A = this chain, B = another copy of it.
């Protein structure tokens, strides 16, 4: 299902030649600094802040990611890849219903952790609608790994697609401030609705 090892940050330009060592180092520095700032800063960091924090000039950032939203996208993609890898694991190790529940909990946590980037992400989605559809496809694919077995086992209603399900769960988290214990309760409501 998954390809060869994913490089954290692309290190080969379209020429086919490996990047120069300093360029590769700088690219990684920017990526790390950006991820750090996006997840911790209370207000959205400016491109200049990110560059300064990474110890590089602004030009260096723009050579690697041609726009702010491209940078946001790169970070988002990587986080998503880490998340979806979990579905297959749950499928191998648990009963169908339990695997589904575990996966949904992970997804819920992931979506919650992305709340701070919500504004940034919606700009990135506006700029490249493929990002939205493709990452949704990835999530749907991972969801199916646990959803289809549950449906075949007859514990989840059949008329529900993976896309429907993720939509429901994502909604629990987005654009809302809910006490943490409520999340579990809301997920339970959805789970009750799923049962065959």
A119 at the interface (CB under 8 A from B): yes
A122 touches B118 (CB 8 A): yes
Partner of A167, one of B118, B132, B172: B172
A63 at the interface (CB under 8 A from B): no
Copies of this chain: 2
Interface size on A, residues (CB 8 A): 33
A14 at the interface (CB under 8 A from B): no
A58 at the interface (CB under 8 A from B): no
A185 touches B164 (CB 8 A): yes
Known: A119-B122, A193-B192. A164 touches B186 (CB 8 A): yes
Binary contact track A161-186/B, C-beta < 8 Å → 1, others 0 = 00110011111111111100010011
Which one of A122, A191, A194 has the greatest number of beta carbons of chain B within 10 Å?
Answer: A122
B159 touches A185 (CB 8 A): yes
Known: A119-B123, A119-B126, A122-B175. 13 other contacts (CB 8 A): A122-B122, A133-B177, A164-B182, A164-B189, A167-B172, A167-B178, A168-B171, A171-B172, A171-B173, A174-B174, A190-B193, A192-B192, A193-B194
